[in-house]
Amino acid sequence: MYNITVIPGDGIGKEVMKATLSVLDALNLNLNYTFAEAGDECLEINGEALPEKTIQLCKKSDACLFGAAGETAADVIVKLRHEMELFANLRPVKSYPGTNALFNDIDFMIVRENTEGLYKQDEEKYTENGAEAKRIITRQAESRICDYAFKYAVKHGKSKVTGVHKANVLKKTDGLFKKIFYETAENYKNKGIDAEDFYVDATAMYLITQPKTFEVLVTTNLFGDILSDEGAGLVGGLGLIPSANIGENGALFEPVHGSAPDIAGKGIANPLAMMLSAVMMLNYLGETEEAENLDKSILKVLKESKNLTPDLNGNSTTDEMAEAVKIELLKFNKS
């Protein structure tokens, strides 16, 4: 039995979570859900966006599923990453059939450092002349994320890792990142993993002009956040991008889209990013066969193009799309 903390959150987070849990019920697994609160509505009701009870539930669980947060996203998901020490953020960029992908064979992973940089919000403050923020880059954190990226490449049969930085301008902070990246690369030469690096602005261009050349990218917190949203644009939008937040003793899985208040309550939100996040969770738990079956079920629904939400040029509801995936998943269990 796996103990899963479920945080639906705000807006469409609740809708895509409900749809995803209905699909997970078709797995041959014993998943025990504990529901927890966080987000805008939680703040309004309880006076805090992320209660301590939710943090403790997450820390004690085998994995967490998170839907979406609205205006309190920074107070919720960023704080959870820090509290749970989830140092690695994984954002796969993969093209699926039946979507608005610009290319039909993109498949790479962005590995983003998750605990420091500007997002640490350390000493961000107003000044007499405006505002300022402190950027934190440490050898410990960047060594850990670079090593994670190379280990990921080895485990998943990749041949190259790309380091992304702005060391030509940020000579000390990103200069340190670049130095650590190549120090780490030396440890993996005998495993057949090549290393290259690009400036972040050049990388942003290359993601558009030559995305098929990438396999694994590793970068700092803010750069990784921006590039992964660009990657989403390559493969049809945020409704198709899952993510994982991984630490030494815990993990949290979430779609990268927000609470989407403009469509919340209409029942038309695309649930696939949440479902694909669940695929990542299953792989994390070691349930690779179930993860593969769920992924194949999603792929089948996309290929058939009969039960797609409006963002994918269909007219199905969130629940109808989820039901189509569930029907395909049940076929695997019967075979």
Catalytic residues: 119, 166, 201, 225, 229
Asked whether 58 and 28 are in contact (CB, 8 A), the reply is: no
- Is residue 66 within 8 Å of 77, Cβ to Cβ? yes
**Beta strands 160-165 and 194-199: pairing type?**
parallel
Instruction: Report how far apart, in Å, the C-alpha atoms of 61 and of each of 35, 51, 64, 65, 242 are.
Output: 11, 16, 7, 10, 20
CB 318 within 8 A of CB 270: yes
Within a 10 A sphere around the Cβ of 250, how many other Cβ atoms?
Answer: 20
Residue 124, number of CB atoms within 10 A of its CB:
12
CB of 61 closer than 8 Å to CB of 6:
no
If phi > 0 it is left, if psi is from -120 to 50 it is alpha, else beta; for residue 85 that is: left
Structure tokens at 82: 């820090």
Instruction: Evaluate whether 297 touches 332 at the Cβ level (below 8 Å).
Output: yes
Tell me which amino acid residue 36 is: A
Residues shown for the chain: 335
How many whole angstroms separate alpha carbon 24 and alpha carbon 278? 8
Total Cβ atoms within 10 A of residue 258? 17
